[in-house]
Amino acid sequence: MFRSFSRPFAATFAAALFLVTVPATPAHADVIRAQQWALEAMHTDDAWRTTKGEGITVAVLDTGVDPTHPDLAGQVLSGKDLIGFGAKSGDRAWARHGTAMAGIIAGRGHGPGREDGVLGIAPEAKILPVRVILEGTDPDRAKARKSRGGSLADGIRWAADNGADVINLSLGDDSESAHPEPGEDAAVQYALSKGAAVVASAGNGGEKGDRISYPAAYPGVIAVTAVDRYGTHAAFSTRRWYATVSAPGVDVVIADPDRRYYEGWGTSAASAFVSGAVALVRAAHPDLRPAQIKKLLADTARDAPDNGRDDATGYGIVDPAAAIEAGGKLNTAKADTANEATGYTKQYFGRGPDNTRGASEPAAWLAPLAGGLGALLLAGAVVLWRGGPVTGRRPR
């Protein structure tokens, strides 16, 4: 899933992000903001008339988040590292994917008038970073697979217990052996019961068999597929019955700890956009429960398929402004407690857990995915701007 450019190539890195260098431009602010097409497509200006996400905490369960990035300065709370080893701050293989997702959700830009850099969909929300996985280029990733198999479930519970209103999971397993992990499913249900909405990437297996991806397929999760700037389903985006809504996932501007900006694609980005949209809805209507928010997003989605829903885009493209408006009409009374958290009556979307799998065995989502996607669902990226940092370049 490389984007083709008739421009000089740079070295590629990682399984999750592929980089192609393009010439630097002095008008970097104009380049970056002009290419943030997703904000206009999601009618963020309309939503921002009500809220920009103030008071909402979005947990980003990922490879870590760089709190010193100029676009995220002051937005990142003290989080949790459930891996405990691997790349450190300043290393090349540290917090790249997680920082990109945090920027999509809550980037505030930087410089005079904050006109430079990435602007997130919920720029006044806070980011709670929870490190549950390592970057694909981290030499310790294999070690993490063997010894930190429960980190996703632990991270979901930790986030729910530490103030997360929304939990973003831009990761997943869609390998041939993918199946539900009871501990992860239970953690998701715990978070939902605590009032945290859970959002996950639907998967990047659209050209590789559309296999089920977890955690997207767990009950109650808002599973997000990807569309391009024309609202067309992205070919790489998995088509499955658990798809709730779709969001921009092609040619998305992302920030990086190296102080460069990239244009990436994948259902990771789509998930982050929806997590930001949920943050806006929650800020406007803090009493809504996760199941109500999920239904609200589905009911107000734009460009719904002819039959109301399909596996490619779910109920349509998320529209936070419409959801905010409709949310004011909902009855927020906490009735229907039997199934409010999940919004689904069956135990699993998939074939259910394999009871022969040992409880101490690493979770399947940490295993390498087929097709070279890795566990991080940002498929590729190109460099947009190669400018230096605002306050000094990080060592690499």
Instruction: Give the pLDDT confidence score for residue 376 in this predicted structure.
Output: 67
Write out pLDDT tens, residues 257-305.
Answer: 999 999 999 999 999 999 999 999 999 999 999 999 999 999 999 999 9
Q: What is the CATH number of the domain that holds 266?
A: 3.40.50.200
User: pTM of the full predicted structure?
Assistant: 0.83
Residue 212 covered by a domain: yes
Catalytic residue among 28, 62, 233, 258: 62
Given 151, 201, 237, 268, which residue is catalytic? 268
Look at residue 338 and tell me whether its pLDDT is greater than 90.
no
Residue 62 falls in the annotated catalytic set: yes
Q: In the structure, what pLDDT confidence band is assigned to residue 330 with cuts at 50, 70 and 90?
A: confident
The model's confidence at residue 8, banded by pLDDT at 50, 70 and 90, is: very low
Residue 16 lies in a domain: no
pLDDT in tens, 203-223: 999 999 999 999 999 999 999
Question: Annotated catalytic residue: which of 28, 66, 71, 97?
Answer: 97
Structural domain tally of the chain?
Answer: 1
**How confident is the model at residue 384, as a pLDDT?**
58
- Residue 362's pLDDT band, with cuts at 50, 70 and 90, is very low
**Cis check: omega of the bond before 389, within 30 degrees of 0:** no
Place of tokens 């989502």: 365
CA distance 5 to 191: 43
Task: Look at residue 391 and tell me if it is in a domain.
Answer: no
Within a domain: residue 91? yes
Task: Report yes or no on 10 lying in a domain.
Answer: no
Band (190; pLDDT cuts 50, 70, 90): very high
More confident position, 182 or 367:
182
Does some domain include residue 17?
Answer: no
Ranking 1-15, 66-80, 176-190, 278-292 by mean pLDDT, the lowest is: 1-15
Let me know if residue 390 belongs to a domain: no
- Residue numbers of the domain that contains 300: 28-385
